[in-house]
Structure 1
């Protein structure tokens, strides 16, 4: 590496660190907006985030950034430095494609729309937010068209790349074309199989404070560092903040304690990934999470693979009896486990079981592609949603709240995110299968509340890698094969039908 090239690369990393700090500040303000901000502060917060977003955009798209990238590109860099430079160039191209004016307009529109979405949910009326969402979609289409030209891709893929670098709708279409019919075939088989099972009921309300206490106990057991994170309440469960200050939220219902617990576990999976990212690369793209497929694999591995296993409920049952101050057969490990395997199609994605959840995602994936590409108008979204749901599930949502108002994503401008949930579920099954092959006693350890072997395996094979490898490379290195539906369907057949799956 020549002295000038080395100097350019080091200057670029310092410049990028400033960009990363601005990103962290926006992340914390966004978390606050969704979790604890007073309801009357929305306009001021939108202004703050919009201005910081412009500063972040200007920092990134400064002509000096590209000049430094080009100068550093001639240097003899190490593998990590080369990957970091590649990611900086990719992110720069995303940002440089857009004008500061468009970035600010989009940020303001999303902040406004998110507030209107919360009001629309309270009133159970899509029309309250339709105008704001229309503005977000209009600006999103503009952004997608500009980036599609920049990256020589289609509109949807240009948005997907921000959540899953290198992701392609053609690949997703191919995977979903195999997965959807397999799930549609499996679902009635499982429902018939479970028809004679006497599932437990939990009619006694559980106070929110008791639920929160249980969630914090499980977070700590899984490995969450409370010195660098916290748990709060929000309308929609999410994980935010920064790797050194991870904020997760859940929502509580005294008549459904399992929803809050599984929400906590899901977001803890996200948080563990963030807390395990390589600190030596902090503030650089290569030290960040690889993408949302890997991120969702970590949340779903904990929620679905680990914490719905019979072994986990052996650990959980005595804690529940103590924290909830309850007794009875329905609170025993076997019954808690049986309850977790209940498959009941419903309208709400975050409450869906493992089998129907991907069908929820595939529905959203198809709709958001149509919205981005201009094949579906915002005005027609509620009817399109209801028709698509009825086609997949055989029943029609009774209102907007249980239909197109249930998720925050589109109202916050997150188009291209949804498919990563199910791709993450496939990756989670694949990774957990590999971890159990490397450590056959993992499930036995989980039954005793010992999660360190699993967490250390994830730290080594996923978390510590950051973005030094692609999603495909991470999976091949950790599991021996690229992403497929095989491990996931084997898992579903084993858990819900008690048998091995066929070849898929």
Structure 2
């Protein structure tokens, strides 16, 4: 039977994915510097084996034959998702993939070299080459999927999302934020006038911070029999669902950055650990796109870990693990003032919960114009500056390093990815709103450090569903309505207004 052949193929591909994921996580955490060359060779060979098996021509025949077999509802959905992945894997000619790989690698290398000194002019030719290839890729994917070019790019990261829907939601959110940011800043100044920010001026040993992070992970539901915490230059959540590899980084002059990073990555990890194990070797059993993945990490970080209810529980743990003198004189209000501080800034990755979406919407709008040809790469600095002034009231025209050169996404050819970040924040707020309807005393649960009901709700609505549905359909089934900016707006107004 063809379904059985696909099932067997899925197990072989899963084994290769497993090896690549663990090797990649190990490279970022424990590998000795001298192991890099052989590790790259090993991973390259495994990636080649994976790609060759994933695009084998007989797979198309197996998919067609399997559709005619007597299948369960889950099996029908599994075939559909397998076919979507197969089309996305085979629609790009090998010759194009080679050209794109070479161009984006060179572009990223130049970006690392030139970004520190903000040398836009020297970087521009490489970026122009990438943009040209992205337009070519978008056309190839559009022809294979029947989607518009930008939607075809975005569908790789968030299946089912379409600009026709997102444009309206983002326009609503942008209009709100342009007015709300000044309001939030005024409200913050008034709060700070009554209660100034306090400085963290103790020494926070890394081992004590690690124990605090482990305690926080344990509290919110991380399964240590199927995962671990390590250190890396940049925090990430990798590995595989049965062996999640989480990382953080530490500073000894403060502990909140590491702790909030741990909680963010734990949100990703809980999603992976909660995926249906019986379908782990099928695309159906994977997480449903980057927007939904970000929603799970941001649910833990923003909806839970930046709330007063959570810190009512967490503050005693801080004292327990870091010592009573660690934040002497701080109470929950002081912590919230620190973790929820708002300011206009140039850098997306450093932005707060209020201003962050404007950074993303700016990129979303520009990259659509780049893909369509309405904007050329040479025009990016002026277009970027105009939107920064309009949205955040600050100029980047003389600072490409902290303007259009700050992200690796465009140098690496990752167009269509940026929307996932803000979609994740919006989905998290909408899930939180729906959860509060079903669990009215959710805040009291957090104050006790009891996340059982909260995680059970998310497991039922999101984790166990994996990739059974498109992103929009999954949001609808989980919350009872389509993606709606109102929930995020209410969340921000309540916290920062």
* TM-score for the superposition, normalised by structure 1: 0.88
CA contact (8 A) 1:54 1:100 kept: no
In the alignment, does 2:393 pair up with 1:394? yes
User: 2:199 matched to which residue of 1?
Assistant: 202
Higher relative contact order (CA 8 A, sep 6+): 2
User: 1:477 matched to which residue of 2?
Assistant: 477
Given candidates 278, 297, 301, the residue that maps to 2:276 is 278
Secondary structure at the counterpart of residue 197 of structure 2: coil
Deviation at 1:66, TM superposition (A): 0.3
How many residues are treated as equivalent by the alignment? 491
Summarize the Cα distance change of 1:380–1:44 in structure 2 as closer, same or farther, 3 Å threshold: farther
- Cα deviations across residues 150-182 of structure 1 (Å, max 9, x unaligned)? 112222111111111121122111111111011
Q: Quick check: 198-207 or 28-37, which moved more?
A: 28-37
Secondary structure at the counterpart of residue 246 of structure 2: strand
User: 1:215 matched to which residue of 2?
Assistant: 213
User: 1:56 matched to which residue of 2?
Assistant: 50
Q: Quick check: 48-57 or 10-19, which moved more?
A: 48-57
Deviation at 1:495, TM superposition (A): 1.6
CA contact (8 A) 1:53 1:107 kept: no
Deviation at 1:284, TM superposition (A): 0.4
CA contact (8 A) 2:184 2:496 kept: yes
Given candidates 163, 177, 184, the residue that maps to 2:157 is 163
User: 1:10 matched to which residue of 2?
Assistant: 4
CA contact (8 A) 2:104 2:412 kept: yes
Secondary structure at the counterpart of residue 331 of structure 1: coil
Gaps of 5+ in 2: none
CA contact (8 A) 2:161 2:472 kept: no
Secondary structure at the counterpart of residue 402 of structure 2: coil
Q: Quick check: 337-346 or 485-494, which moved more?
A: 337-346
Q: How does 1:110-129 map to 2 (within 5 A)?
A: 110=104, 114=108, 117-120=111-114
User: 2:134 matched to which residue of 1?
Assistant: 140
Q: Quick check: 385-394 or 111-120, which moved more?
A: 111-120
User: 1:268 matched to which residue of 2?
Assistant: 266
Q: Quick check: 283-292 or 108-117, which moved more?
A: 108-117
User: 2:239 matched to which residue of 1?
Assistant: 241
CA contact (8 A) 1:50 1:104 kept: no
**How far apart, in 2, do the equivalents of 1:226 and 1:10 lie?**
33
User: 1:368 matched to which residue of 2?
Assistant: 367
CA contact (8 A) 1:343 1:355 kept: yes
- Cα deviations across residues 179-228 of structure 1 (Å, max 9, x unaligned)? 10111111111211222222422241654614433322212211122332
Summarize the Cα distance change of 1:412–1:450 in structure 2 as closer, same or farther, 3 Å threshold: farther
User: 1:436 matched to which residue of 2?
Assistant: 436
CA contact (8 A) 1:269 1:301 kept: yes
Summarize the Cα distance change of 1:379–1:17 in structure 2 as closer, same or farther, 3 Å threshold: farther
- Cα deviations across residues 270-326 of structure 1 (Å, max 9, x unaligned)? 111011100011110111111222111111111101111101111121222333333
Summarize the Cα distance change of 1:407–1:169 in structure 2 as closer, same or farther, 3 Å threshold: same
Q: How does 1:15-414 map to 2 (within 5 A)?
A: 15-35=9-29, 48-107=42-101, 109-110=103-104, 114=108, 117-120=111-114, 133=127, 136-198=130-192, 199-204=196-201, 206-207=203-204, 209=206, 210-255=208-253, 257-325=255-323, 326=325, 330-378=329-377, 381-382=380-381, 384-397=383-396, 399-414=399-414
Summarize the Cα distance change of 1:101–1:285 in structure 2 as closer, same or farther, 3 Å threshold: same
**How far apart, in 1, do the equivalents of 2:288 and 2:388 lie?**
32
Q: How does 1:490-501 map to 2 (within 5 A)?
A: 490-497=490-497
CA contact (8 A) 1:163 1:416 kept: yes
**How far apart, in 2, do the equivalents of 1:50 and 1:376 lie?**
35
Gaps of 5+ in 1: 1-6, 498-504
User: 1:455 matched to which residue of 2?
Assistant: 455
**How far apart, in 2, do the equivalents of 1:443 and 1:470 lie?**
30
Deviation at 1:35, TM superposition (A): 4.7
- RMSD of Structure 2 on Structure 1 (CA): 2.8
User: 1:3 matched to which residue of 2?
Assistant: none
Secondary structure at the counterpart of residue 410 of structure 1: coil
- Cα deviations across residues 398-442 of structure 1 (Å, max 9, x unaligned)? 745533444343344432111011111111111112222212222
Q: Quick check: 98-107 or 465-474, which moved more?
A: 98-107
Q: Quick check: 20-29 or 262-271, which moved more?
A: 20-29
**How far apart, in 1, do the equivalents of 2:374 and 2:32 lie?**
38
CA contact (8 A) 2:160 2:472 kept: no
Summarize the Cα distance change of 1:420–1:286 in structure 2 as closer, same or farther, 3 Å threshold: same
Deviation at 1:449, TM superposition (A): 1.5
Secondary structure at the counterpart of residue 239 of structure 2: strand
